[in-house]
Amino acid sequence: MPADSMLYSPVESPMSSLLSYLNDATVSIVMHLLGIFAIALVLNRLLRVVTNLLIKHAAGQSRAEQVREQQTRTLASVVFSTGSKVVWAVAILTALDKVGINPTPALTLAGLASVAVGFGAQNMVRDLISGFYIVLEDQYSVGDTVQIADTVGRVEYLTLRRTVVRDPRGALVTIANGEIRVAANLSRDWSQSFVDVSLAPELPLEKPLAALEAAASELRGDAAWSQALVDGPRVLGVQSYDRNGTVVRLQVRTAPTRQDEVSRELRRRIQIEFQKQGIPLTSVVRFELTNPQALAGGSPKSASPQ
């Protein structure tokens, strides 16, 4: 072999081999990190699309529909924010493992911290979960009239943590969502009311029933009240009967929260119709004791009818 060829033959040194290995390892790590980053971005994008499906866009310009849209937007934002944090936390832990950092101590520390926070804020977590389902299931919204336990009123403010109700006294009652077990929505779709009319027990029913039907028909035909009516008023018939009187019941279904004003108007028209036809209501005979001692002795003149 010629001497020149031996002097210039390529010989790979140990240092160059090490650098080549390090470069290959670095490229592999970088590629893995880029893949993790890309997957996290795709998952965040999908999460955004899914949470946008929770938003119920307002079909009109009414305040209730606008508030409902805002509530669902808030709910979607909370879900996306929570899910995004989880996605990025998993991505970071996976990336740490790829670069040779053991994530177990960090996971242990985070788990202990979560347990401590969970014990201290378990009531708040319960409130947030309950509020999430209240909004998601549309149990009630701002502007609805509700009954929650002994509180009846209009919902003034609703968040994932609390419900604020304006009661009949005008007071604002704050209720933690986690404390709500049963909630009655009194203003959804329609409301209902019953009107009872007491008649003298000896009075024949044909004339009073006809008068009640006339008052109900007059209310149904009144254009000023027709928009407030959903069904009725209808005369259901005798509700109860005893020696004190006969109770006849009427039923009326109204637009949400308008049952009280419709019931008052129906009672007013019934009174006018009864007065027009001379129909008496329940008559009660009162007795006043003028000489209790004599009554105790058995005197028949100790009481006088009033």
What is the per-residue pLDDT across 274-299, written as a single tens digit (0 to 9) for each? 998 888 776 544 444 455 454 455 54
What pLDDT is stored for residue 20 in this prediction?
A: 58
Give residue-wise pLDDT tens across range 91-134.
Answer: 887 877 777 777 677 667 767 666 666 666 678 888 888 888 88
Q: How far apart are CA 219 and CA 271, in angstroms?
A: 13
Q: What rounded mean pLDDT belongs to the chain?
A: 78
User: Residue 255 has what pLDDT?
Assistant: 86
Which tens digits make up the pLDDT trace of 125-153? 888 888 888 887 888 888 888 999 889 99
Q: In whole angstroms, how far apart are CA 201 and each of 118, 198, 281? A: 66, 9, 9
pLDDT digits (tens, 9 = 90+) for 29-44: 777 778 888 888 888 8
DSSP string, 241-288: EETTEEEEEEEEEESTT-HHHHHHHHHHHHHHHHHHHT--B-----EE
Residue carrying the six token digits 């670095």: 26
Q: Locate the domains of the chain by residue range.
A: 20-120, 139-185, 191-277
Residue 174 pLDDT > 90 = yes
CATH architecture assignment, domain 191-277: 2-Layer Sandwich (3.30)
Q: Model's pTM, two decimal places?
A: 0.53
What pLDDT score does 62 carry? 65
Q: Which fold has domain 20-120?
A: Helix Hairpins (1.10.287)
Angle at 100 between CA 99 and CA 104, to 5 degrees: 115
Residue 153 amino acid letter:
G
Partners of residue 208 on adjacent β-strands: none
User: pLDDT tens digits, residue range 248-270?
Assistant: 999 988 888 888 889 999 999 99
Determine the pLDDT at residue 173: 93
Q: The CATH number of 139-185 is which of 2.30.30.60, 3.40.1000.10, 3.30.1490.20, 3.40.50.1970?
A: 2.30.30.60
> How many Cβ atoms are within 10 Å of 295's Cβ, its own excluded?
14
How confident is the model over 152-178, as a mean pLDDT? 90
In three-state secondary structure terms, 74 is: helix
Candidate from 84-98, 232-246, 262-276 with smallest mean pLDDT: 84-98
What is the reported pLDDT for 302? 43
Q: Residue 81: pLDDT band by 50, 70, 90 thresholds? A: confident
